[in-house]
């Protein structure tokens, strides 16, 4: 995974140089495999081991940097998105099996202006290896990299407005994904569907027909958590790697789902305008905290 | 017919036989199906009982005589004309030496690694290259459908869902720990397979040496000590070593082990990617879950394990920059070791 020095600085005061930081990260288990100076910033490419999905975000790595350098982690609280009271409309979300999708949230924002992203946004995304598409798509990707929660924006006008269903695909169904491939689906694959048809491969890739384009006015912003094993199987069966599937397979923090949705909504309103007219949550929002016992005497015994 | 006359005739005829063709004609005349002997034999039944025995004996000795004469003549005709060869031999000239084979560089390095651990009390154990899914993965705390399996792409055997070509030598840990009781100090050399595209640093088949030690009170510091002795023995006394935290499903805590770059002595060069360090192996304390799988009590015993790529060690030791050289068997390469 790639992070930049300046982006990390949004979350922690770093008083050491980029090469010093690279060394500290490497010796903490976040092996920096390359460090490059680019456009006035430094790009760290870090190898993240499969046991640490909490490191798959800027904030996650900043948390580690804060601990390593004895500084405080600053994560600004996302302000709630602007909306006019009374204009919120209900949206039906139906989750067929909670085990496949423990939490699904959908936010509806109307009258956005899709346009190219501002230079700072494009630059940050490009430095971490992500192609800029338009302001809406770029914001969802930006939040993915920053908080580690994959988001997806649908063009609301292109799907049946009655609501979305998170269900297994039928064996006869097909979906044209945003990479232009026509995918043959089966019942092992989880999809987001409207009343009629699948509109996205859950946690893997969106559909071409409902993607946000320059003509898009209203969007449905998805933030969710999917079963890692289902995502892994779908990714293997279809042979698609994506930033989203990479994170869902390893495990996404339940608590980041609403944060990410809010942060993206706020950024969309700042960069593309629009009014929030609906927000719906389906599933569990709080993860059960696990206690991990550690005996100091045992640690000493193996030192 | 006068047998005596035939004898005389034979004497005369054989003198004139000078070729194999003539000898054949001679043989037919006397010993052929319509030859003299056959004719004499045919009259035996017409004789009286008294005459038969004596006449028969005569015919027999005539037949023997003929066989003898033909045989002798045949020998004479078969002798090749003597050719005269001038034999010259320089006894002072050195002989043509048979070129001696030698051990492959990988075998040499493998032997060296095993010898170093032998001296520290480790014994060598080997295991099969076709392994069970359980020994290669599940027994080593690598669950099915878990992202930790990503690091181990594997060749599965066609028609045998649970069999595969081992992707590391660690399954021998499972085998050895099930069969034997601690204390254990074992090194496992062997071939492993991964479906990697072949390039300068990857091969679908390569060699690993796995090592592990299990006893009461084994600590991480024991691992550091043992690997320190190993690194200095292979790469020289001045080498520095560092342990970087890492993740392996079968050890906790886990580390990757680097040595100071042998080319630039830690200054940073192209071989170490300007880092000054070279990764040589992975190691850690054996995960309690692995002990449980093989029936060793993790409350009583602790242990460490490590694994290294033999090609990697050999490439660093000899400054070889392409793994393919090991398997092309070009004599110009092999003769350098």
Over residues A268-281, the pLDDT tens digits come to 999 999 988 888 88
A19 vs chain B: nearest CA distance in angstroms?
10
The fraction of chain A above a pLDDT of 90, given in percent, is 80
Q: What is the pLDDT of residue B273?
A: 74
Of the partner residues A28, A34, A49, the one whose CB lies closest to the CB of residue B247: A49
* Separation in Å, CA of A232 to nearest CA in chain B: 7
Please name the residues between 40 and 59 in chain A that touch chain B, using a CB distance below 8 Å: 49-52
Distance between B164 CA and the closest CA of chain A, angstroms: 19
Nearest to B246 among A34, A49, A228 (CB): A49
CATH number where A262 lies: 3.50.40.10
Across the interface, do A303 and B219 touch by the CB < 8 Å criterion? Answer: yes
CA-nearest residue of chain B to A34?
B273
Listed in sequence order, the residues at least 6 apart from A244 whose beta carbon sits closer than 8 Å to its beta carbon are A144, A150, A152, A203, A204, A205
| pLDDT confidence tier of residue A79, bands split at 50, 70 and 90 | low
Query: If contacts are CB pairs under 8 Å, which of residues 207-266 in chain A contact chain B?
Result: 228-229, 232-233, 249-250
Smallest CA–CA distance from B144 into chain A, residue: A229
B221 inside 8 A of chain A by CB: yes
List of chain A residues whose C-beta atoms are within 8 Å of the C-beta of residue B150: 50
Tokens 């304390």 correspond to B285
> How many domains, chain B?
2
Asked if residue B287 lies in contact with residue B252, where contact means CB atoms within 8 angstroms, the answer is yes
The chain-wide mean pLDDT, for chain A, equals 91
Cross-chain residue pair A50–B145, CB shorter than 8 Å: no
Q: How many residues appear in chain B? A: 337
Output the pLDDT for position B81.
59
Quick check: A285 and A257 in contact, CB under 8 A?
yes
Kindly list the residues from chain A whose CB atom is less than 8 angstroms away from the CB atom of residue B285.
302
CATH of the domain at A58: 3.30.56.10
* B178 and B32 share one domain: no
Residue found under tokens 């979300």: A93
Confidence of residue A87 (pLDDT cuts 50, 70, 90): low
Q: Read off the pLDDT of each residue in A177-187 and give the average, rounded to a whole number.
A: 93
pLDDT classification of A303: cutoffs 50, 70, 90: confident
Q: Is A168 helix (H, G, I), strand (E, B) or coil?
A: strand
B151 touches A: beta carbon within 8 Å? yes
Q: Which residues of chain B have pLDDT under 70?
A: 1, 80-86
- B268 within some domain: yes
Indicate whether B173 and B26 sit together in one domain.
Answer: no
Task: Output the pLDDT for position A163.
Answer: 85
Domain at B246, CATH number = 3.30.930.10
What integer is the mean pLDDT of A3-21?
Answer: 95
Task: Tell me how many domains chain A contains.
Answer: 2
For residue A261, pLDDT over 80 is answered with yes
Per-residue confidence (pLDDT) for residue A90, from 0 to 100: 65
Q: Is the preceding peptide bond at A186 cis, omega within 30 degrees of 0?
A: no
**Residues of chain A positioned with their CB less than 8 A from the CB of B256:** 31
Q: Give me B152's structure tokens.
A: 């181990």
Whether residues A302 and B302 touch (CB distance < 8 A) is answered with yes
pLDDT for residue B24 = 87
Considering the domain architecture, whether residues B62 and B205 belong to the same structural domain is answered as no
- Same domain flag for A44 and A159: no
In a domain, A80, yes or no: no
ipTM confidence score: 0.86
Long-range CB contact pairs, B145-154, < 8 A, 24+:
B145/A229, B145/A232, B145/A233, B146/A50, B146/B249, B147/A50, B147/A228, B147/A232, B147/A249, B147/A250, B148/A50, B148/A51, B148/B247, B148/B249, B150/A50, B151/A50, B152/B194, B153/B194, B153/B195, B153/B196, B154/B193, B154/B194, B154/B195
For every residue of A100-158, DSSP letters joined together read T-SEEEEEEEES----PPPHHHHHHHHHTT-----HHHHHHHHHHHHHS--EEEEEGGG
Q: Name residue, tokens 């062997």.
A: B190
- Pair (B19, B115) in one structural domain: no
Give the helix/strand (H/E) hosting B328: helix B325-328
Q: Which domain holds residue B195?
A: 105-127+167-334
Q: Is residue A176 part of a domain?
A: yes
């Amino acid at each position: 995974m790639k992070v930049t020095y300046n982006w990390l600085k949004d979350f922690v005061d770093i008083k050491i140089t980029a090469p010093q930081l690279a060394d500290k990260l490497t010796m903490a288990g976040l092996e920096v495999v390359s460090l490059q100076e680019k456009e006035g910033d430094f790009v760290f490419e870090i190898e993240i081991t499969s046991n640490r999905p909490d490191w798959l975000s800027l904030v996650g790595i900043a948390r580690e940097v804060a601990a390593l350098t004895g500084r405080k982690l600053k994560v600004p609280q996302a302000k709630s998105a602007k909306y006019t009271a009374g204009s919120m409309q209900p949206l039906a979300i139906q989750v067929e099996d909670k085990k496949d999708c423990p939490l699904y949230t959908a936010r509806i924002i109307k009258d956005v202006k899709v346009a190219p992203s501002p230079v700072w946004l494009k630059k940050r995304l490009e430095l971490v290896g992500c192609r800029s598409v338009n302001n809406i798509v770029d914001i969802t990707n930006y939040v993915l990299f920053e908080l580690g929660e994959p988001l997806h924006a649908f063009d609301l006008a292109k799907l049946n407005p009655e609501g979305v269903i998170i269900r297994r695909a039928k064996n006869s169904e097909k979906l044209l994904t945003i990479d232009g491939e026509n995918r043959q689906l089966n019942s092992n694959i989880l999809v987001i569907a409207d009343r009629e048809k699948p509109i996205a491969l859950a946690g893997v890739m969106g559909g071409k027909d409902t993607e946000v384009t320059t003509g898009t006015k209203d969007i449905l912003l998805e933030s969710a958590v999917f079963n890692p094993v289902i995502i892994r199987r779908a990714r293997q069966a279809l042979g698609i790697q994506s930033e989203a599937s990479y994170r869902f397979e390893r495990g996404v923090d339940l608590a980041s789902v609403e944060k990410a949705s809010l942060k993206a909504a706020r950024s969309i309103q700042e960069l593309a305008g629009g009014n929030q007219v609906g927000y719906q949550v389906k599933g569990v929002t709080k993860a059960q905290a696990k206690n991990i016992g550690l005996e100091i005497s045992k640690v000493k015994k193996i030192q | 017919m006068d047998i005596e006359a035939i004898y005389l005739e034979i004497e005369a005829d054989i003198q004139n036989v000078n070729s194999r063709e003539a000898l054949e004609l001679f043989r037919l005349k006397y010993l052929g199906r319509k030859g003299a002997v056959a004719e004499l034999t045919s009259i035996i039944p017409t004789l009286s009982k008294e005459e038969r025995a004596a006449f028969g004996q005569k015919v027999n000795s005539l037949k023997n005589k003929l066989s003898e004469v033909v045989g002798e003549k045949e020998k004479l005709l078969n002798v090749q004309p003597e050719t005269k060869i001038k034999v010259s031999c320089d006894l002072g000239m050195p002989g043509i030496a048979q070129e001696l084979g030698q051990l492959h560089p990988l075998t040499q390095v493998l032997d060296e690694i095993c010898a170093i651990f032998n001296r520290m009390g480790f014994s060598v154990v080997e295991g099969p290259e076709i392994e069970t899914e359980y020994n290669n993965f599940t027994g080593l705390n690598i669950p099915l459908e878990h992202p930790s399996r990503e690091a181990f792409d594997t060749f599965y055997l066609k028609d045998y869902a649970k069999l595969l070509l081992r992707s590391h030598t660690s399954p021998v840990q499972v085998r050895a720990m099930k069969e034997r009781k601690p204390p254990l100090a074992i090194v496992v050399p062997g071939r492993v397979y991964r479906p990697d595209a072949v390039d300068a640093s990857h091969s679908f088949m390569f060699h690993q040496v796995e090592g592990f030690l299990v006893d009461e009170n084994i600590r991480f510091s024991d691992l550091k000590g043992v690997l320190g002795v190993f690194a200095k023995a292979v790469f020289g006394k001045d080498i520095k070593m560092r342990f970087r935290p890492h993740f392996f499903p079968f050890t906790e805590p886990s580390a990757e082990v680097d040595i100071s770059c042998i080319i630039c002595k830690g200054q940073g060069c192209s071989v170490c990617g300007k880092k000054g360090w070279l990764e040589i192996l992975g190691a850690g304390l054996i995960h309690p879950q692995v002990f449980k799988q093989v029936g060793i009590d993790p409350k009583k015993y602790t242990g460490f394990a490590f694994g290294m790529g033999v090609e990697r060690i050999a490439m660093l030791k000899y400054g070889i920059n392409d793994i393919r050289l090991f398997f092309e068997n070009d004599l110009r390469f092999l003769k350098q070791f």
